[in-house]
């Protein structure tokens, strides 16, 4: 079927990118971008970093100014999609209006998982996902004295670093024994734990928050599992996300920890693609389907779908990469470290310039680089070429990842 009309649900990172990439690829048909947030699409990563630090305002968050959408003839509509009618090839908006499509792209992202604990609705308890969340948080942060962060994941720790830099007393409560454990090797995790402690953050590991205490509707503290209470006039939770896959479930599409797609990011309905945080996909780098929450994943999947709609279909196989900024530490990760059984370090934790090369069954699978951007760029290239680099080679004195990448560029 010729595709003349593409409808995109979700005007976030992936939704915006698929519209932009379609135009870049020369698509001349109609593009409708439906999003339920106000304003033009914006980047989320600075919300928990530069925006909260007060270094940038809302205008700097936008991917493009409003005029771009007119100029590119991308019809941006603020609306919530309540239903997909796959048989009729249309989506239904909250207003009841039906929007027909030739091809539908689902880019509905994810929402914060909310801790199921007493007191979660108190004033002063927030998550960070949207600009509205960050706008609500900024003035509270400015007035806060004691902040408690529930969960030592990326976003919780980015917030902890910002709050500590602003002179707020910060306590992090984490169920696991080290921070960012789901994604990071132990040595890198420990470097970040030590850094936060150095910035004055108290890290409470192997602890849960069982409830949030309040007076007159306002948070005043949290209760931990061991009975200890912590004072808090601000509580920020970051315990992971839930993919926004309900529309897909209701439409009868296959969903399992996100919308399931094939190697070309097509759902179980060939007229519907899905991309970004909401997607569970097969990566050549993983034995099981994965769902990634990163800018790289949203952007590369959007580009892949746009190219397919323009007749340039290739299986999706981009190398995953990710970054986080905390205090003066910039961490960049290339590859997937899941199940790694060996690590080799370059640099040192003491100098705060460390790369951890993660191997699984002798194969390099991921490189985590803290304040070593050259290693990260080299790692992305090396990992893209099914690397034959061994742990023994990395352990050799004076091994340099960038030099290795240059030396092996033509050999592989
Ligand atoms: C605070 C924060 C910091 C981050 N930092 C980093 C970082 O440093 N590095 C990195 O790589 N990644 C980072 N990320 C992750 C990255 O921002 C996400 O992976 C990316 O935004 C995913 O894009 P997406 O388009 O899939 O989802 P989203 O950007 O979440 O967009 C989905 C959009 O769809 C809308 N929507 C959902 N359902 C409907 C519906 N029924 N009708 C209409 N609209 C709907 C949502 O409201 C939302 O606007 C961060 C995320 C957050 C929240």
Domain ranges of the chain: 5-111+241-309, 114-237, 328-408
Beta strands in 174-328 (DSSP E): 202-204, 209-215, 218-224, 229-231, 234-237, 241-243, 259-260, 272-274, 279-280, 321-326
Ligand 1 binding pocket includes 108 (Cβ within 6 Å): yes
* CATH number among 3.40.190.10, 3.40.50.300, 3.40.50.12780, 3.50.50.60, domain 5-111+241-309: 3.50.50.60
Closest approach atom of ligand 1 to CA 279: 26
Domain 114-237, CATH class in plain words: alpha beta
Instruction: Report whether pLDDT(410) > 80.
Output: no
pLDDT-based confidence at residue 131 (cuts at 50, 70, 90)? very high
Whole-angstrom distance, CA of residue 47 vs CA of residue 188: 24
> Over the stretch 374-405, which tens digit does the pLDDT of each residue have?
999 999 999 998 778 999 999 999 999 999 99
Q: What is the pLDDT of residue 411?
A: 67
Report the pLDDT averaged over residues 172-200. 97
256: Cβ contacts below 8 Å, ≥ 6 apart: 280, 289
Whole-angstrom distance, CA of residue 128 vs CA of residue 235: 11
Closest approach atom of ligand 1 to CA 246: 41
Whole-angstrom distance, CA of residue 349 vs CA of residue 411: 32
Q: What is the pLDDT of residue 116?
A: 97
Q: What is the pLDDT of residue 409?
A: 85
Q: What is the pTM of this model?
A: 0.97
pLDDT-based confidence at residue 255 (cuts at 50, 70, 90)? very high
Distance 159 CA to ligand 1 centre (A): 17
What integer best gives the mean pLDDT of the chain? 97
CA distances to 343, 349, 359, 367 from 337, rounded to whole Å, are 10, 19, 8, 8
**In the chain, % of residues over pLDDT 90:** 96
Least confident of 43-57, 191-205, 323-337, 384-398: 384-398
What DSSP element (H or E) covers 406?
A: helix 401-408
pLDDT-based confidence at residue 284 (cuts at 50, 70, 90)? confident
Closest approach atom of ligand 1 to CA 82: 41
Cα 218–chain centre separation: 30
Instruction: Report whether pLDDT(278) > 60.
Output: yes
Instruction: Report whether pLDDT(412) > 60.
Output: no
Ligand 1 binding pocket includes 298 (Cβ within 6 Å): yes
Q: What is the pLDDT of residue 388?
A: 86
Report the pLDDT averaged over residues 284-305. 96
Whole-angstrom distance, CA of residue 343 vs CA of residue 358: 5
Common-topology check for domains 5-111+241-309 and 114-237: yes
Domain 328-408, CATH class in plain words: alpha beta
Query: Helix/strand/coil (H, E, C) string of 374-401?
Result: HHHHHHHHHHCCCCCCCHHHHHCCCCCH
Q: What is the pLDDT of residue 48?
A: 97
Q: What is the pLDDT of residue 387?
A: 72
Ligand 1 binding pocket includes 204 (Cβ within 6 Å): no
Distance 376 CA to ligand 1 centre (A): 24
The residue whose CA is least distant from atom 7 of ligand 1 is 45
Instruction: Report whether pLDDT(279) > 60.
Output: yes
Point out which residues pair with 35 in neighbouring strands.
78
Classify each residue of 84-107 as buried b or exposed e, where b means 16 or more C-beta atoms within 10 Å of its C-beta: bebeebbbbbeeeeebebbbbbbb
DSSP string for 313-377? -----PPPEEEEEETTEEEEEEE--TT--EEEEEEETTTTEEEEEEEETTEEEEEEEES-HHHHH
Q: What is the pLDDT of residue 139?
A: 97
Distance 37 CA to ligand 1 centre (A): 11
Whole-angstrom distance, CA of residue 249 vs CA of residue 258: 10
Q: What is the pLDDT of residue 385?
A: 87
Report the pLDDT averaged over residues 244-254. 98
249: Cβ contacts below 8 Å, ≥ 6 apart: 255
Q: What is the pLDDT of residue 237?
A: 98
Whole-angstrom distance, CA of residue 327 vs CA of residue 53: 10
Closest approach atom of ligand 1 to CA 277: 26
Q: What is the pLDDT of residue 49?
A: 96
Which of 44, 127, 329, 332 for mutating ligand 1's site (highest number of atoms within 8 Å of CB)?
Answer: 44
**Are 71 and 78 in contact, with CB atoms under 8 Å apart?**
no
Ligand 1 binding pocket includes 109 (Cβ within 6 Å): yes
> Over the stretch 205-224, which tens digit does the pLDDT of each residue have?
999 999 999 999 999 999 99
Report the pLDDT averaged over residues 291-295. 98
Whole-angstrom distance, CA of residue 148 vs CA of residue 125: 9
């Amino acid at each position: 079927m010729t595709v003349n009309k593409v409808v995109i649900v979700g005007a976030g990172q992936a939704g915006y990118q698929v519209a932009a990439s379609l135009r870049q690829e020369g698509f001349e048909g109609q593009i409708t971008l439906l999003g339920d947030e106000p304003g033009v699409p914006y980047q989320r990563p600075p919300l928990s970093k530069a925006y909260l630090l007060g270094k940038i305002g809302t205008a700097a968050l936008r991917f493009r100014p409003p005029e771009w959408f007119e100029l590119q003839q991308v019809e941006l509509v603020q609306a919530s999609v309540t239903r997909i009618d796959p048989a009729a090839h249309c989506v239904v908006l909250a207003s009841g209006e039906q929007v027909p499509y030739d091809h539908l792209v689902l880019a509905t992202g994810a929402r914060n998982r909310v801790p199921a604990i007493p007191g979660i609705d108190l004033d002063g308890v927030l998550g960070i996902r949207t600009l509205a969340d960050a706008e609500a948080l900024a003035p509270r942060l400015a007035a806060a004295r004691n902040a408690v962060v529930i969960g030592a994941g990326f976003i919780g720790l980015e917030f902890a670093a910002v709050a500590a830099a602003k002179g707020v007393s910060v306590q992090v409560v984490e169920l696991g024994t080290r921070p960012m454990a789901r994604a990071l090797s132990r040595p890198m995790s420990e470097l970040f734990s030590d850094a936060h402690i150095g910035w004055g953050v108290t890290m409470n590991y192997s602890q849960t928050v069982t409830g949030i205490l309040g007076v007159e509707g306002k948070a005043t503290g949290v209760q931990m599992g061991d009975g200890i209470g912590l004072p808090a006039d601000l509580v920020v939770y970051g315990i992971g996300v839930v993919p926004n896959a309900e529309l897909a479930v209701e439409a009868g599409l296959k969903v399992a920890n996100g919308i399931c797609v094939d190697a070309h990011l097509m759902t179980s309905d060939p007229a519907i693609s899905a991309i970004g945080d909401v997607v569970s996909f097969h990566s050549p780098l993983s034995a099981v389907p994965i769902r990634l929450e990163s800018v790289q994943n949203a952007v590369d999947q959007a580009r892949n779908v746009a190219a397919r709609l323009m007749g340039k279909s290739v299986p999706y196989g981009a190398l995953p990469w990710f970054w986080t900024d905390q205090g003066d530490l910039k961490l960049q990760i290339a590859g997937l470290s899941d199940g790694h059984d060996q690590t080799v370090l370059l640099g040192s934790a003491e100098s705060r310039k460390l790369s951890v090369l993660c191997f699984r069954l002798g194969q390099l699978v991921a490189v985590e680089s803290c304040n070593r951007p050259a290693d990260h760029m080299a790692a992305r290239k090396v990992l893209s070429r099914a690397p034959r680099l061994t742990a023994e080679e990395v352990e050799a004195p004076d091994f340099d990842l960038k030099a290795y990448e240059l030396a092996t560029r033509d050999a592989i």
